[in-house]
């Protein structure tokens, strides 16, 4: 019985995930695109929960859906009408190539996964209740993966500084423009 309930949740979440994904790439107005991405992130968070990744689901919603997307919406609002962009364009050949490339990627991913993992995807490992909890993630981050953790913080710092530098107005730029 519970299994059926999980299946239903999964279908709703996966459907929402793919639907909002399509919406992200197909909207003309970036504002709606960004909103769709928030929906996409939320439905992904549900999938994460189903995969026992509690902490990541929370992080996804708070950090990603919250702060990162708010930053996005700010920029969209700042740009106003100028943000609206033509759907596509350019040579038809280019558009066709893009579709072919995307489909090829998709097919290949499925085929490779099937080849390499097809037989091993049915019996997931037994896990404890604490798997994916903030405590276990925290412990792993601060012990085995401490270096990666610290490097990540440096990456973020560099990105923050870079964002500020790029966004700062200089008198000269305004004149050039």
Partner 1 sequence: MDGPDVGWYLIVAAILFGIGALGVMMRRSPLIVLLSLELMLNAANLTLIAFARQQGDLDGQIFALAVMAVAAAEVAIGLGLIVAMARRRMLLDVDQASALRG
Partner 2 sequence: MIVGAWICLVAPLAGALAITLAGTRISRTTAGWISTLTTFVAFAGALVAFVGLWAEGHGDREHLSTAYTWLESGDFQVELQILLDTLSSTMMLIVSGVGGLIVWYSMGYMEGDEEERRYFAYMSLFVFSMLMLVQAGNLLLLLIGWGLVGLASYLLIGFWHSKPEAVAAAKKAFVMNAIGDVTLALGLVLLIWETGTLEYLGVFEQVDGLSTTTVNLVALGLLGGAVAKSAQIPLHTWLPDAMEGPTPVSALIHAATMVTAGVYLLVRASPIFEAAPDVQALAAILGAITLLVAGVIALVQWDIKRVIAYSTMSQIGYMFLAAGIGAYGYAIFHLATHAFFKALLFMTAGVVIHHLGGEQDIRKMGGLRPLMPRTHLAFLVGALSLAGIPIFSGFWSKDGIVAAAFASGDTLGYTLYAAALTGALLTGLYTFRLYFAVFHGKPSELVKEHSHDGQREGPLSMLIPVGVLGVLATIGGLLVIPGVWEPFLHWIDETAEPTVKATVGQDYATSAIAVTLGLIGFFVARRASAAGRQIVTSPGIWRVLEHKLYFDEAYDALFYRPAAAISVALRRNVEEPVVERSLDEIGTGTLQVGGEVARVQSGLLRTYAIAIAFAVCVLVVVFVAVR
The footprint of partner 2 (CB under 8 A) covers 90, 94, 97-98, 101-102, 104-105, 108, 111-112, 115
115 binds, among partner 1, partner 2, none (CB under 5 to 8 A by kind): partner 2
Please give the torsion angle defined by the CA atoms of residues 139, 66, 74 and 18, in that order, rounded to the nearest 10 degrees.
110
How far apart are CB 21 and partner 2 at their closest, in Å?
17
Closer CB to partner 2, 4 or 115, in the complex = 115
Q: Within its chain, how far is the Cα of 95 from the centroid?
A: 24
Say if residues 61 and 42 touch (Cβ distance below 8 Å): yes
154 binds, among partner 2, partner 1, none (CB under 5 to 8 A by kind): none
42 binds, among partner 2, partner 1, none (CB under 5 to 8 A by kind): none
How far apart are CB 171 and partner 1 at their closest, in Å?
12
**Residues in the chain, total:** 177
12 binds, among partner 1, partner 2, none (CB under 5 to 8 A by kind): none
Closest CA to 31 of 74, 87, 65: 74
How far apart are CB 17 and partner 2 at their closest, in Å?
22
Closer CB to partner 2, 93 or 154, in the complex = 93
Phi, psi of 37 (to 5 degrees): -65, -35
Task: State the Cα–Cα distance between residues 16 and 101, nearest whole angstrom.
Answer: 24
Closest CA to 10 of 37, 67, 48, 54: 48
Closer CB to partner 2, 90 or 124, in the complex = 90
How far apart are CB 101 and partner 2 at their closest, in Å?
4
Say if residues 57 and 49 touch (Cβ distance below 8 Å): yes
């Amino acid at each position: 019985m519970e299994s059926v309930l999980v299946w239903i949740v999964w279908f709703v979440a996966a459907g929402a995930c793919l639907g909002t994904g399509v919406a992200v790439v197909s909207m003309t107005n970036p504002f709606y695109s960004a909103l769709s991405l928030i929906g996409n992130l939320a439905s992904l968070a549900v999938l994460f929960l189903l995969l026992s990744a509690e902490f990541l689901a929370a992080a996804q919603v708070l950090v990603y859906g919250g702060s990162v997307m708010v930053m996005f919406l700010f920029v969209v609002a700042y740009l106003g009408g100028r943000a609206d962009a033509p759907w596509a364009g350019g040579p038809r050949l280019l558009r066709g190539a893009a579709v072919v490339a995307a489909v090829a990627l998709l097919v290949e991913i499925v085929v490779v996964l099937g080849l390499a993992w097809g037989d091993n995807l049915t019996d997931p490992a037994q896990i404890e209740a604490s798997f994916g909890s903030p405590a276990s993630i925290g412990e792993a981050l601060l012990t085995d993966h401490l270096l990666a953790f610290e490097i990540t913080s440096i990456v973020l710092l560099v990105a923050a500084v870079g964002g500020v530098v790029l966004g700062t107005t200089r008198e000269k730029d305004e004149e050039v423009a």
